[in-house]
Structure 1
Amino acid sequence: MKTGFIGLGNLGKAMAKRLIGEGVELIVWNRTLEKAKDLGVKTAKDPAELISEVEALFLNLTDSDAVMKVLTDEKGVLKGNCTGKLIIDTTTNHFEKVTQFHSLVKESGAYYVEAPVLGSVIPALQGLLTVLVSADREAFEKVKPLLEKIGKNIFYLEKQGLATKMKLINNLVLGSFMATLSEAIAIGEHCGISKAQVIEILQSGAGNSMILNVKKQKLLDEDFSPHFSNSLIYKDLQYLQELCYYMKKPIFTGSIVKELFAMAIAKHLSEEDFSSIYKLFKYF
């Protein structure tokens, strides 16, 4: 299936590389086309041209405003030939905006597949992401072979918006774990225990988790080159807070953790990996 890809940030590019490695004929577009040079695939001049050339199109963008722009701009996706096409949106979206995307894409004659992913750069390169899907059953069955190239676990939630809401719930856990682990490591160091030993003990006890295992080396080396940035986790927690407000439900840990990532952004750590929240507890 000839496939398009829009959004070559850290995660998007990793997903695109995985698809290429799996033999998918890929055509890409990115606002900064230089990011596509090392992929060795054809680039489209604009999103409208891209959707007209492919059967399926992946989106992996920063936020819902970016998705709306890519869809509706003068040369956006929906200005191209969309009839019968599959638009697979892996962006972590706002819970209200994503329902608008379902409607806009359907009006264009295409299928909108809401498919946020759990995982970051390394699992994306290995095809080990978890994919949450809300879409018509027909569309889901059509895109499932493509999703299986990037994801090990695929959960079909069907009803519009549920995949996005579950992604935000997942990122409550992700952000909270990262903050708690970072604070624990920093406190251990302030007590005079080496960072490596604190981490080793946490991995043998209550701190043992996929998050610590994945971020261990970044914390040890203090190499916070981004896989998933502070600005993105902050955005996701803001979306979650707005979801809880909409449902008239309180959100306790999520609100506190969101403000910790806001502090990281205020300390000019916006584009560092979200594991750099460790710096707040160690150095500030």
Structure 2
Amino acid sequence: MVTPENTIIGFIGTGVMGKSMASHLVKAGFPLYVYTRTKEKADELLAQGAKWAASPKEIANSANIVFTIVGYPKDVEEVYLGENGLIPNGKAGSFYIDMTTSAPTLAARIYEEAKKAGIHTLDAPVSGGDIGAQEAKLSIMVGGDKADFEYILPLFEKLGTNIVYQGKAGSGQHTKMCNQIAIASNMIGVAEAIIYAEKAGLDPENVLKSITKGAAGSWSLSNLAPRMLQQDFAPGFYIKHFIKDMKIAIDEANGMGMDAPGLQLAKSLYDQLAGKGEENSGTQAIYKYWK
């Protein structure tokens, strides 16, 4: 059983979501070591009692359960498999949980390499954005060994409310691709609906009162459409990371012989926004495509 008495947690990545997630673990009483490339991003956690680690290697030496949520698959590969990474420096019996949205094939490779070292790994990407992370209401989709999932479940419950075991290593990442595919086309619809309401001379906020509760309802419509209307394009989830996710999904779909025209269209629109300097805006900035 996971308790603060038998567990030291490491947390790598304290960005928009990671900072809130790590904070929940500190508040639950778990000793926490934190590493991020820019130390200043960890200041709030350090003030809460977390301890600083200078590298993933130091995290591996200090903690027996490690969570990671970094930017890109190349970052995941470096953190887990690099010379100063977790697996080359980890201790047998440790648990490593990657919550980055990354490539399913990489998750499976990490699992196999960790297994050789007697280390347990789970791929556990999340959905819910900055709000879900702040409120500990994330959806967590998990791949790996079922027994490992059940052991880590009490910690997942500190971070989210919809926690589902999906199957073998890589299954969590495949599920997250399904999530991102569904969001991609939906974001186009959300933005087009708002633009249409404005051009029709309607009060868009009043329109949302009707359509968020009907068949058109979605998380993006309820949470991101209001940000569009407020001209709030701060990132709950970066456009550059969404483009990364869509590319992974397209590559995986191609590998399975699947055509994904809705996903391709969404990525092309976001690519255009990124080309205009919006890569660090939130995904709701797709509204600007029409503006």
The equivalent of 2:4 in structure 1 is: none
Alpha-carbon distance in 1 for matches of 2:210, 2:228: 15
The equivalent of 1:146 in structure 2 is: 155
- Which among 266, 274, 281 is matched to residue 257 of structure 1? 266
Asked whether 1:120 is paired with 2:129, we answer yes
**Paired-residue identity, %:** 30
The answer as to whether partners of 2:144 and 2:170 remain within 8 angstroms in 1 is: no
- Which among 15, 19, 23 is matched to residue 21 of structure 2? 15
- Which among 45, 49, 57 is matched to residue 48 of structure 1? 57
The equivalent of 1:37 in structure 2 is: 43
Corresponding residue SS for 2:157: helix
The equivalent of 2:31 in structure 1 is: 25
Q: Which amino acid aligns with 1:33?
A: K
In the TM superposition, residue 199 of structure 1 has moved relative to its aligned partner by 2.6
In the TM superposition, residue 206 of structure 1 has moved relative to its aligned partner by 4.0
Alpha-carbon distance in 1 for matches of 2:144, 2:104: 14
The equivalent of 1:106 in structure 2 is: 115
Structure 1 unaligned spans of 5+: none
The equivalent of 1:242 in structure 2 is: 251
In the TM superposition, residue 60 of structure 1 has moved relative to its aligned partner by 0.2
Alpha-carbon distance in 2 for matches of 1:221, 1:38: 28
Q: Which amino acid aligns with 1:17?
A: S
Q: Which amino acid aligns with 2:19?
A: K
Tell me how many residue pairs correspond in the alignment: 282
- Which among 3, 6, 28 is matched to residue 12 of structure 2? 6
Following superposition of structure 1 onto structure 2, how do residues 185-204 of structure 1 map, counting pairs within 5 Å? 185-204=194-213
Alpha-carbon distance in 2 for matches of 1:213, 1:24: 34
The answer as to whether partners of 1:224 and 1:276 remain within 8 angstroms in 2 is: yes
Following superposition of structure 1 onto structure 2, how do residues 191-230 of structure 1 map, counting pairs within 5 Å? 191-230=200-239
Structure 2 CA distance for partners of 1:2 and 1:278, relative to 1, 3 Å: same
Alpha-carbon distance in 2 for matches of 1:268, 1:199: 29
Alpha-carbon distance in 2 for matches of 1:99, 1:165: 11
* 1:46-83 Cα shifts (integer Å, max 9, x gaps): 11111111110001011211011112333222232321
**Which region of structure 1 is more displaced relative to structure 2, 239-248 or 103-112?**
103-112
* 1:197-244 Cα shifts (integer Å, max 9, x gaps): 333333244432222111243122111111101111111111111111
Q: Which amino acid aligns with 1:24?
A: F
Corresponding residue SS for 2:235: coil
Alpha-carbon distance in 2 for matches of 1:190, 1:245: 38
The equivalent of 1:92 in structure 2 is: 101
The equivalent of 2:3 in structure 1 is: none
In the TM superposition, residue 195 of structure 1 has moved relative to its aligned partner by 2.8
Corresponding residue SS for 1:96: helix
Alpha-carbon distance in 1 for matches of 2:51, 2:174: 34
Alpha-carbon distance in 2 for matches of 1:37, 1:74: 27
Corresponding residue SS for 1:200: helix
Corresponding residue SS for 2:17: helix
Structure 2 CA distance for partners of 1:279 and 1:206, relative to 1, 3 Å: farther
Alpha-carbon distance in 2 for matches of 1:203, 1:135: 36
Corresponding residue SS for 1:267: helix
Q: Which amino acid aligns with 1:96?
A: T
Corresponding residue SS for 2:208: helix
Q: Which amino acid aligns with 1:132?
A: M
Asked whether 1:178 is paired with 2:178, we answer no
CA RMSD of aligned residues (A): 1.5
* 1:5-50 Cα shifts (integer Å, max 9, x gaps): 0011111112112222222221100111111111121011211111
Alpha-carbon distance in 1 for matches of 2:12, 2:272: 31
**Which region of structure 1 is more displaced relative to structure 2, 53-62 or 128-137?**
128-137
In the TM superposition, residue 246 of structure 1 has moved relative to its aligned partner by 0.4
Q: What is the TM-score when the length of structure 1 is the normalising length?
A: 0.94
The answer as to whether partners of 1:64 and 1:98 remain within 8 angstroms in 2 is: no
Following superposition of structure 1 onto structure 2, how do residues 149-168 of structure 1 map, counting pairs within 5 Å? 149-168=158-177
The equivalent of 1:134 in structure 2 is: 143
